[in-house]
Amino acid sequence: MNWQVYIIRCSDDSLYTGITTEIGRRFAEHAEGKGAKYFRGRQPVEVVYLEDGHSRSSASKREVQIKTMNRYEKINLNCIT
């Protein structure tokens, strides 16, 4: 199965990192307030970064790597603004 690592920009301009097998479905779940508690009180605005081609294990490891980065490093992953 193909897993993806993603970063979503939120309504408060924060960045949320997660993993999924289908980004469209996961974004919709976040928008509906399902899943991550992080989206209580804030809304997802857009997917600003997406890495494809991971196994579940490698996606989880990459998610941890990204979550340890500061905002500047996350923004520079793919020149997101």
Confidence at residue 80, expressed as pLDDT on a 0 to 100 scale: 55
> How far, in Å, CA of 20 to CA of 29, rounded?
11
- CB contact at 8 A, 40 and 9: no
- Backbone φ and ψ for 52, nearest 5 degrees, come out as -110, 170
Using 50, 70 and 90 to split pLDDT, how confident is the model at 79? low
Is 70 exceeded by the pLDDT of residue 40?
A: yes
The phi and psi torsions of 74 (rounded to 5 degrees) equal -65, -45
In 1-81, which ranges are continuous DSSP H helix? Answer: 23-31, 56-67, 71-75
pLDDT at 81 over 70: no
**What domains appear along the chain, each with residue ranges and CATH number?**
3-75 (3.40.1440.10)
